[in-house]
Structure 1
Amino acid sequence: MAGRQCCANPPNLNPSSGAGHVEKLGGLSTYVTGSTHSKLGVLLVSDVYGYEAPNLRKLADKIAAAGFYVAAPDFFYGDPYVVNPERPIQAWIKDHGADKGFDDAKPVIQDLKSKGISAIGAVGFCWGAKVVVQLAKGEFIKAAVLCHPSFVTHDDIKAVKVPIAILGAEIDQLSPPALVKEFEEILTTKPEVDAFVKIFPKVSHGWTVRYNTEDPDAVKCADEAHQNTLEWFAKYVK
């Protein structure tokens, strides 16, 4: 069930979607958008479907419009997950572990800093949330947002050192509300780390980037999560 939910509602990937363009950052093909004069950056770490998902790029553009320079790298080297009975999600994840994503994110961040960006936040979706929580344990980023996280553990949350927002779904086998509440309880024991935890009612895992653009209710819920993400970065990435 969890595997199916992780892969539900696959997007129609479009390499030409978005208002930005693709360039190399940290050795990875990366969708970038926003003013190159901005000193504030945001790193988007996608779910298993990768950086060519139109809703992901639309969100990148929305964050860029708020004044950030935004980068969404291709952490999968041209091999995003494709629903295929002969290569189940578990096999794909073996080839694309979050530890590798974490290692790959570091040179991307270095390249962003070399462009003059002095403060960076990161938001991760599903698979990407595990990468972002790893970044949040060190000095790599100023703030983190986890959207419907996958594979994130209690120990990960205990090690977080930067302000963190966790946006969970009511209908989610990968990070059910009970687990998200446990994350919140851990964070309340860490007064040095500001935290914001919210569970969105009536939505499923993946709702922030794999929503149906023709469904007004789905768009409204995604927009609310996007606004929470923007507010978090406006507060801490400066």
Structure 2
Amino acid sequence: MGSLPDQCCDIPPFKSNYTPVGKRITLDVEGKTPIEVYLTGPSDGIHAIIGLYDIFGMHSNTLQGADYLAKQCGYQVIVPDFFRGWSWDVDNIPPKEGRPYLNARIQERGSWDLVRPDLLEVIKYLQSDGKATLGAYGLCFGAKKIAQSAHLELFNAFVCAHPSFFQPQDADNISVPIALMPSDGEDKAVMDEFWARIQKKPFADKCYRENFHDMHHGFASARSNWDDPRLAQRARDAYNVMTKFFKERL
């Protein structure tokens, strides 16, 4: 399964007063409590992008990124709350219970067995709304869910930014173009081996990698600081990469 990077356990998220511009709705999931999702961007059109958040859930910085992406690419972006209101406490980094507890807790609350039916329900909703091509981006924890969802073959393109829990073999199930955006906080050997495996795919020429080695883990999600000019620009740079990639691949 892999583990959380050191920086994910050490660097607290930035707090923000940002007010998201989208809306929230709930979707029924068979056998589970309904899931709330955040929708932003135009609802017309046939393209949509699902955003899979980090361990801090529906953090305002993460939703600010979703708003920015939707505005830049002109597609609807939907962020499901897989944790159902729970998320790791923003004031508990580094975790007082220790890293093994944080690692185990996130894997428990965000296991693939729990995320899978939610993700399928979100896709069902988007398809019923006329969305014919779907992309997905994963931030930290969400990037691992991207890798685990690949075998569903329901997406046209993936983006993984500063992944957590990654292993090189996660590349083996990827069957559509992917963009990889590692930061300074991930294991570079894992990132390089993952990318090397992607380069053996028949669609390798449609994949893209941009390193953000000048940035810390989580710089495009809860650990972004849109009030800091440099950090805000690098977060925008990351979403601009996503925009270009999705517009070319969806």
* TM-score, normalised via structure 1 length: 0.89
Share of identical aligned residues, percent? 30
* Residues 1:110 and 2:124 are matched in the alignment: yes
* Residues 1:5 and 2:7 are matched in the alignment: yes
Instruction: Please say which of residues 28-37 and 184-193 is displaced more in the overlay.
Output: 184-193
Q: Distance in 2 between matches of 1:106 and 1:162?
A: 18
Instruction: Determine the structure 1 residue equivalent to 2:70.
Output: 64
Task: Report the AA paired with residue 208 of structure 1.
Answer: A
Q: Is the 8 A contact 1:102 1:132 kept in 2?
A: no
Q: How does 1:77-116 map to 2 (within 5 A)?
A: 77-82=84-89, 83=92, 85-86=96-97, 88-99=101-112, 100-116=114-130
Query: In structure 1, which of residues 11, 16, 19 is the aligned counterpart of residue 21 of structure 2?
Result: 19
- Secondary structure of 2:181 counterpart: strand
Q: Is the 8 A contact 2:169 2:194 kept in 1?
A: no
Q: Distance in 2 between matches of 1:95 and 1:179?
A: 23
Q: Distance in 1 between matches of 2:130 and 2:81?
A: 22
Compute the displacement of 1:94 (Å). Answer: 4.0
Q: Is the 8 A contact 1:98 1:128 kept in 2?
A: no
Instruction: Determine the structure 2 residue equivalent to 1:211.
Output: 224
Q: Is the 8 A contact 1:124 1:145 kept in 2?
A: yes
**Structure 2 stretches lacking a partner, 5+ long:** none
Instruction: Determine the structure 2 residue equivalent to 1:183.
Output: 194
State the number of aligned residues: 232
Q: Distance in 2 between matches of 1:75 and 1:144?
A: 18
Offset from partner CA, 1:194-214 (integer Å, 9 cap, x none): 321221132111111222223
Offset from partner CA, 1:149-178 (integer Å, 9 cap, x none): 111222210110011011001x21xx3222
Q: Is the 8 A contact 1:42 1:121 kept in 2?
A: yes
Compute the displacement of 1:5 (Å). Answer: 1.7
Higher relative contact order (Cα pairs below 8 Å, separated by 6+ residues):
2
Task: Report the AA paired with residue 163 of structure 1.
Answer: P
Instruction: Determine the structure 2 residue equivalent to 1:228.
Output: 241
Task: Report the AA paired with residue 60 of structure 1.
Answer: A
Compute the displacement of 1:86 (Å). Answer: 4.4
The Cα RMSD (Å) is 2.1
